[in-house]
Structure 1
Amino acid sequence: MPLKKKNKFLWFTGISVLLTFIFFFAMMAIFWGRLTPMNQDFLFEIIKQNAVYFFISFFLFFEIVAYMIHVVLNNFFIPLTKIPDEISVILKVNSSHRINIDGGKEILTIAKAINLFADHYETLQKNTQEEINRKRAELEIEKNMLASLFDELPQGIIACNIEGKINLFNKKAKIIEAQNHIIGIGRSIFDIIDKDIIMNALYEINVKKCKKHAAASSSFITLSPGNVLIQADISPITDQRDNFAGFIVVFYNIGKDFELYAKIDNIFKCTANEIFSCSDKIKKENLQTPEIAFIEENLKNFEKDYIEKIKERLPFLVVSDRDIITTVRKKAREKLNISLMPEFPAHINWIRIETYSFIYAFLSILTILKNKTLKTTFKCTLFKEEPFLAICFHIPDAEKNLDIFKDDNLSLTLKDFLKYHEAQIHLSSNEKSEQRIKILIPLAEMKEPEDVRNIVISRDSYDRPDFFDFDLFKKRKIDSKFNQMRLKDIVYTVFDTETTGLDTGNDEIISIGAVRVVNGRILCGEKFDQIIDPKMNIPLESEKFHGINDEMVKGKPDIKEILPLFYRFSEDTVLVAHNAAFDMKMFSMKAVETGIKFDNPVLDTLLLALIVYPMHERHNMAAIASFAGVDIVGRHTAMGDASATAEIFLKLIPLLSKKGIHTLNDALKASKNTLYSKLKY
């Protein structure tokens, strides 16, 4: 626990007085021991007769000693201990800060000299900053041109590091996000695109690289959380040694195209079926003519050509049997509550499919099986049956009628899938009276399409505009999630709350404001700012403090709706707040009501400031912001205080580093040792 100036003074004074007493009485004892018994009696008689004078002399002597100690402490010792902290503020936090302390003449001379140096340092820093700003302004034009071009691209673009954390994205990428699936710097792409799909694509890229393919890329089609059907291309990002450093996803919204193609497809099929139906009636009436036969033959040829055109239009990809069946298994569990238990062959088999229709067709098969058998668990065996990959579903109940899987009874969806993939479906039984549905899909070679996207980005070409952060491509050592990470490498959510009062048991949260900090930068585009209906009247005293009244919260969402959204916003980050104990207590009081329990690590700028500035008597936000050179805009609003806290926190990080606090674990341990950490709400 850091000692205050008063505590240090008392300790130093007490020890000094004690040592003085010990020294004085030791000298007296030595002097007394050297006297003869007769002299001792004589001296004792003198002291006895003049006891009052001796007592007053002793008292004055120790008063003088105490006063001298007090002068030394206040004029030299205490000011000297404050100067290093003041210099740190000038050098690392606020160059406009000046040393203003009371002390002796020598101390004031030192402070004056340091302030003079600080004036020169500030002037130099301002000149340097002006030059940097001038150069930056020149680059800003080019950067804005690049940003405009980047944002106007017809494709959505997301770049990620090796862990799937997003480093770059453009405006078009935002079309695939949903309320609880946010695209942002430092967030995970796996919240947007299924992790299995990404990992399958990266596995395919790795296989291609091992086989020395010139264009090691992969493609897939999937449905985003926002129900947007996208076609995506993934390409690797490599460093100078060709090591994998991340990947870039370029995607298109193909939902509208598929809707249009589906309408055209339906019109064609309906028309063809009507014509074939009429042709059958003519044949039954024995009215067949060469012209009708010619039309029928042309229609069949046109149907074949149409299927080939459909196949050209669909994005067929070469995928492994393990990858696609694993994806089907996951989708079946999520959408149908069906457990699929596949058995894979020893060696990987490759098939050329259109992934979206493949998954949809297999989900249709599983839906039929579930409805027919009333079971939710099915076994599936894969094996090679040249020139096909055989996928067999085992149905233990042989009495169930599964004629729906015979050619004449197949739905249009399954028929189309079989036609477009040149696949086959068979229904059979084995010696154990088990029925089997066997789907045969042509095998394919691992071959790169000619028009595949090939983007391999070298680290030499990295630039750093504001809309992305390539520093996240660097590998970091992570132990126990965050604890051993350097403070400057962690993603933070800096937040503040406004409440109806200070009673955590009875008062309510009426506002939450938060910003994200990634790689030492506050992301202006990622904020959480929400007013909350507390379902109670806001006291006038509180309204005067934060300015939020009953009219402002009327019709706003309640805490049950907002707290889960904030939990999602702050997920996988370290929480930072000023006097965080109060805010976290307010959250914990809502755990039962909302079902939300925050288990994020928490840092408190109040405690961190106490570590960095132990000699300062005030550690409230205004005081810390003052000597840190942070302007608070919107004081006592959740967003205003959150933004100010974020700036203060970033100013504290280099000062913590100077004190040997480099990791989150260091900061948490140091915070626990401060006096204010013992406060309870």
Structure 2
Amino acid sequence: MIHRLSLRFRVFLFFVALAVGNCAALTVGLFLGYQRLGNPDDLNAFISGGVAAGFVILGLITWVWYLFDINVAKPIERLAGGIRARTHADVAAEMDHTPARYLGDLAPAAMAATQHLSDARNALAEAVARETTRLAAEKERLETLLSDVPVGVLLCSPDHQLVFYNGHAVGLLGSLDAPGLDRRLFDYLHDAPILHAYARLLETDDPDAASDLLCASTAGSRVLAARMRLLTDLSACAGGQARPGYVLTLRDVTADLAAHATREALMDELFDRLRRPAANLQAMIGVLSEQQVGLTEPLDRALRTEVTGLTQAINDLAHRHDAARADWWPLSMTRATDLTAAVQVLLAPEDIALHCHTSDLILRCDGFEIVALLAALVTRAAPGRSDFRLEIAEDGAGALITLDWAGPPLPVSELDRWLAAPLQVGMADVTGRTVLSLHATELWPEPRPHGRARLCLPLREARLAHGRPAPIPRGVVYDFDLLSKSRNAEVLNTRLEDLTYVVFDTETTGLLPSEGDEIVQIAAVRIVNGRRVGKEVFDTLVNPRRTIPPASTQVHGISDAMVVDAPGIEEVGRRFHKFAEGAVLVAHNAPFDMEFLRRHELGIGRVFDHPILDTVLLSAVIFGQSESHSLDALTHRLGITIPEEARHTAIGDTVATADAFLKLLPVLKARGHVTFGDVLAEVRKHGRLLRDLNI
């Protein structure tokens, strides 16, 4: 256990043991001398001499310990911290070897080693500089291309966390807050269509398959046409080793669908209003002809010809309009077996048995909505009926989906009522009738012999399944570490590099929250996968609802006039809590900032129970408690420069703390503190310096 103690404490224990040993030896020697002398009158003299000698010994040992601590142990600890900082944190500043002048050749040897390491790094940097420049130029061109693509592009990990998004996607997702890396996709898009498409792509054996789908944003009610494609070759995921991530391209079709729906309604009304007069006119001519009311044979024949032609023209145009409408909607090619399997999965919780017979077909349809419609029909028809059978068979250029059962047939009026009701798939405006309109088809009931009945649903386009042609190579490839990032719900056992961090700082009206001081500014940045995400920044002023003292304004530069229109801590606290969701909070002197936030938890409506790391304590772990651990001292030791205009601003101190934290992480790892729990156990040894906030 002693190897876990610091060097200075072990040296101190050594001198304590030396002092105890000397005092014990002196006591034993005096006792033996007194026993040998055998004169009781000399006892006081022995005791006086022993006490005096003991104090002299203790004083000498204390003096030697103090000199050893100041000139040996403390310089060794400082030298070790400096070496680790230059080894693991890439600090280029030369070490100050003056405090280690009594350590002989140790300090020059350490300086020589760090200088050699610095030279090796420079040589390596020069060796890769040209290649790095070329790759940086290509990366910049690729990012420019992706940012200007007129569709939203999202890259997601297997558990649906955002790994990449372009600028166009920010507007399409329609959220009040911009999307963030490592956040769940379903914070922005309804999950049901996406999960269905992802599961269907996982089940196919075609690594180049893509799925077209319609999805809706959770905010703003945007309807988006999307295409999903898996990123990894499915053969790499065989045996259940891993699931692939996927890329999702998005296009806003809200306005197009609204305009198209308006045109469709107009055309439907037009054809309906023309069909009826044409049919009535044809019937009236037939009646007039039968009653021979003043019509000559040529006139009768001419009228019949014109009316018949008008009726055929209207029916033909309506048929062509339905076909064109089906072609316009973004429908994907879906295997019939996938549809029937998905329906069976949805019906399993309802304990409804469904027997399926499916031809080897690929259908052009919205698989998610067709599955939801069929499952809803079976669920609603189940009372009083049994032995449900679902069949998908080839029907000319398309396919016919039939759902039959043993039991009474379904009245048309009841079917119409079912089709008008929502399908309960996460979007209230999705009904059976809208699904049929989307596919330009109809659904009708039919009686069957032997006490059976069925529903018929034709689809206009289908083909026999066969091998796909060789795909066109896709030239844009990216390798993102987040796609293979392992996730662990137990934060204590999670490696430091696998955690997401939010580094934050506050500016306040004063230093005493218990006496009414309040926050006037909060700033935060996110660290994901070991790097600070430059564009994911939280920075806002806060109305403290009290006067800002002039002395505080001189420190952070925030005046009463600047915060008069700023939101209160309740609104800002909720936004900050959302920004920090699922992350470890990092701050310099965290108890100060957290006290301001936690005293407003009731008004904010959120609890700040995040795991917390304090860079003051991390600095003490690496450099020892005897060093100064102010933000200025820490950044100076790590070679970080804080611009003068940014010092004592929330965002300036936040960025400096984040950069310092990123340089401390590899040093912690090099000392064997690999997981969050390792670091937590170590910082708690420095509780005398600062209180740890993790419960």
TM bucket by the smaller chain? Answer: 0.7 to 0.9
Candidates 185, 194, 204, aligned match of 1:189: 185
User: 1:378-393 to 2 correspondence within 5 Å?
Assistant: 383-386=388-391, 388-390=401-403
Match of 2:118 in 1: 122
Match of 1:304 in 2: 319
Inter-partner Cα distance in structure 2 for 1:508 and 1:291: 85
Match of 1:142 in 2: 138
1:236 and 2:233 correspond = no
Secondary structure at the residue paired with 1:673? helix
User: 1:312-323 to 2 correspondence within 5 Å?
Assistant: 312-317=327-332, 318=334, 320=339, 323=342
Q: Is the 8 A contact 2:154 2:248 kept in 1?
A: yes
Deviations 1:437-481 (A, max 9, x none): 9864348989779999969989xx8545xxxxx1112252x4434
Match of 1:432 in 2: none
1:20 and 2:22 correspond = yes
Deviations 1:297-324 (A, max 9, x none): 1110111111112112223343636757
1:556 and 2:556 correspond = no
Inter-partner Cα distance in structure 2 for 1:412 and 1:106: 81
Q: 1:615 to 1:132 in 2, by over 3 A?
A: farther
Q: 1:529 to 1:448 in 2, by over 3 A?
A: farther
Inter-partner Cα distance in structure 2 for 1:222 and 1:328: 23
Gapped regions of structure 2 (runs ≥ 5): 238-242, 289-302, 393-400, 421-428, 448-452
Inter-partner Cα distance in structure 2 for 1:421 and 1:117: 77
Inter-partner Cα distance in structure 2 for 1:199 and 1:100: 59
Inter-partner Cα distance in structure 1 for 2:80 and 2:65: 22
Q: Is the 8 A contact 1:89 1:97 kept in 2?
A: no
Match of 1:291 in 2: 306
Offset at residue 257 of structure 1 (A): 3.0
Bigger shift: 124-133 or 222-231? Answer: 124-133
Letter in 1 for 2:518: E
Inter-partner Cα distance in structure 2 for 1:561 and 1:391: 56
Q: 1:192 to 1:105 in 2, by over 3 A?
A: closer
Q: 1:263 to 1:98 in 2, by over 3 A?
A: same
Match of 1:678 in 2: 691
Bigger shift: 187-196 or 591-600? Answer: 187-196
Inter-partner Cα distance in structure 2 for 1:579 and 1:453: 60
Letter in 1 for 2:679: A
User: 1:349-498 to 2 correspondence within 5 Å?
Assistant: 353-354=365-366, 383-386=388-391, 388-390=401-403, 405=417, 417-418=435-436, 420=439, 422-426=441-445, 440-442=456-458, 463=478, 470-476=480-486, 478-498=487-507
User: 1:205-284 to 2 correspondence within 5 Å?
Assistant: 205-209=201-205, 213=206, 215-225=208-218, 226-238=220-232, 242-243=236-237, 244-280=243-279, 282-283=281-282
Deviations 1:23-80 (A, max 9, x none): 22223334445x464xx579x49x95x9999987776565445433433333333323
Bigger shift: 59-68 or 520-529? Answer: 59-68
Secondary structure at the residue paired with 2:354? coil
Q: 1:320 to 1:20 in 2, by over 3 A?
A: same
Offset at residue 519 of structure 1 (A): 1.2
Offset at residue 204 of structure 1 (A): 1.1
Deviations 1:377-426 (A, max 9, x none): x999993254535499x9xxx9xx96964999xx9996675464533245
Candidates 659, 668, 674, aligned match of 2:680: 668
TM-score (norm 1): 0.79
Offset at residue 522 of structure 1 (A): 0.6
1:81 and 2:77 correspond = yes
Q: 1:585 to 1:3 in 2, by over 3 A?
A: farther
Offset at residue 219 of structure 1 (A): 2.2
Secondary structure at the residue paired with 2:492? coil
Secondary structure at the residue paired with 1:592? helix
Inter-partner Cα distance in structure 2 for 1:519 and 1:386: 49
Inter-partner Cα distance in structure 2 for 1:356 and 1:107: 74
Q: 1:499 to 1:325 in 2, by over 3 A?
A: farther
Q: Is the 8 A contact 1:342 1:379 kept in 2?
A: no
Letter in 2 for 1:20: N
Offset at residue 9 of structure 1 (A): 7.4
Match of 2:650 in 1: 638
Letter in 2 for 1:536: R
Match of 1:334 in 2: none
Offset at residue 122 of structure 1 (A): 3.2
Offset at residue 486 of structure 1 (A): 1.0
Deviations 1:315-340 (A, max 9, x none): 334363675799999xxxxxxxxxx9
Match of 1:433 in 2: none
Offset at residue 109 of structure 1 (A): 4.2
Q: Is the 8 A contact 1:510 1:533 kept in 2?
A: yes
Letter in 1 for 2:499: I
Secondary structure at the residue paired with 1:483? helix
Offset at residue 557 of structure 1 (A): 2.0
Secondary structure at the residue paired with 1:245? coil
Q: 1:36 to 1:405 in 2, by over 3 A?
A: closer
Inter-partner Cα distance in structure 2 for 1:668 and 1:644: 22
Offset at residue 151 of structure 1 (A): 2.4
Q: Is the 8 A contact 1:322 1:344 kept in 2?
A: no
Bigger shift: 4-13 or 562-571? Answer: 4-13
Q: Is the 8 A contact 1:196 1:327 kept in 2?
A: no
Letter in 1 for 2:27: F
Offset at residue 239 of structure 1 (A): 5.5
Bigger shift: 419-428 or 122-131? Answer: 419-428
Match of 1:467 in 2: none
Inter-partner Cα distance in structure 1 for 2:542 and 2:188: 27
Q: Is the 8 A contact 2:278 2:310 kept in 1?
A: no
Inter-partner Cα distance in structure 2 for 1:276 and 1:575: 68
Candidates 167, 172, 175, aligned match of 1:171: 167
Secondary structure at the residue paired with 1:557? coil
Candidates 500, 508, 527, aligned match of 2:509: 500
1:534 and 2:549 correspond = no
1:586 and 2:575 correspond = no
Bigger shift: 82-91 or 351-360? Answer: 351-360
Secondary structure at the residue paired with 2:318? helix
Q: Is the 8 A contact 2:390 2:404 kept in 1?
A: no
Q: 1:672 to 1:239 in 2, by over 3 A?
A: farther
Bigger shift: 544-553 or 175-184? Answer: 175-184
Letter in 2 for 1:660: G
User: 1:507-656 to 2 correspondence within 5 Å?
Assistant: 507-633=517-643, 634-656=646-668
Q: Is the 8 A contact 1:353 1:421 kept in 2?
A: no
Gapped regions of structure 1 (runs ≥ 5): 330-339, 370-377, 429-436, 465-469
Q: Is the 8 A contact 1:405 1:427 kept in 2?
A: no
Q: 1:66 to 1:228 in 2, by over 3 A?
A: closer
Match of 1:29 in 2: 31
Q: Is the 8 A contact 2:101 2:107 kept in 1?
A: no
Match of 1:431 in 2: none
Inter-partner Cα distance in structure 1 for 2:385 and 2:364: 20
Inter-partner Cα distance in structure 2 for 1:258 and 1:166: 27
Offset at residue 582 of structure 1 (A): 2.6
Deviations 1:232-260 (A, max 9, x none): 22222225952243222223223333234
Secondary structure at the residue paired with 2:686? coil
Secondary structure at the residue paired with 1:535? coil
Offset at residue 650 of structure 1 (A): 1.1
Offset at residue 523 of structure 1 (A): 0.6
